[in-house]
A = this chain, B = another copy of it.
Amino acid sequence: MLEERGRVGRPRSERARAAVLHAVDDLLVEIGYAAMTMKGIAEKAGVGRQTVYRWWSTKAEILFEASAADASHELAVEPTGEALDDLVAYLEALVHFLTRSPAGAAYRALLGEAQHDVAVAELLASKDILGDSARTVIERVVREDTPSIPVDLATALLIGPAFFWITSGRDPARLVARELAETFLRELRIREPR
């Protein structure tokens, strides 16, 4: 289907596409999201402006694509066999992602724009990076086949407190992942004994 559309004429350059994504990665670290412009991206990538617009229509789309893969990777934690340790590791990864990682900075910027830009909100809704990563850990911790707690509620309970802490500008150093993990696990076990 995709190939049929572009059967005629010069094919799109994957090279140009990769150069743009790479440029965005660099610029994000060098100058930050706010100072990033479509103009700057094109120049940094050594690519025509029209070429950028041919692949993506907004800065948000490029950034999302450039950081989504990194994000999923950074939020994946190895199972330890111990529920509490898994949760602690996940929350620490989450906090590190949100506060230290370039991909996390991109995610926060996008999440910010989503608050007053419907297009960005829909973009973010298309791939629930935080929710997916949390779901993986939660399903690992919850052994029952039919958990008594809805997964998305559990997601909000697990992620919510840390997420609020960070995005509302509180000091990450004062956030104790183990405490949040214990609280969450306690709640889980009250609802689901054994």
Q: Is the interface of A mostly helix, strand, loop or mixed?
A: helix
- Is A170 in contact with chain B by the CB < 8 A criterion? yes
- Is A57 in contact with chain B by the CB < 8 A criterion? no
Q: Please name all residues of chain B whose beta carbon is closer than 8 Å to the beta carbon of A109 when the two chains form the complex.
A: 115-116
> Is A116 within 8 A of B124, CB to CB?
no
Q: Please name all residues of chain B whose beta carbon is closer than 8 Å to the beta carbon of A153 when the two chains form the complex.
A: 161, 179
- Is A128 in contact with chain B by the CB < 8 A criterion? yes
Which of B113, B121, B164 contacts A163, CB < 8 Å? B164
Known: A125-B169, A128-B168. A34 touches B161 (CB 8 A): no
- Is A162 in contact with chain B by the CB < 8 A criterion? yes
> Is A160 within 8 A of B169, CB to CB?
no
| A interface residues (Cβ-Cβ under 8 A, vs B) | 32-34, 105, 108-109, 111-117, 121, 124-125, 128, 130-131, 152-153, 156-157, 159-165, 167-170, 174, 179, 183, 186-187, 190
Instruction: Please give me the 6 A-B residue pairs with the lowest Cβ-Cβ distance, nearest first.
Output: A112-B112, A160-B160, A160-B161, A112-B115, A160-B164, A156-B161
Cross-chain pairs A/B with CB under 8 angstroms, 21 sampled = A33-B116, A34-B116, A108-B116, A109-B116, A111-B115, A111-B168, A112-B115, A112-B116, A114-B167, A152-B174, A153-B179, A156-B165, A157-B183, A159-B160, A160-B160, A160-B162, A163-B164, A163-B168, A167-B167, A183-B187, A186-B187
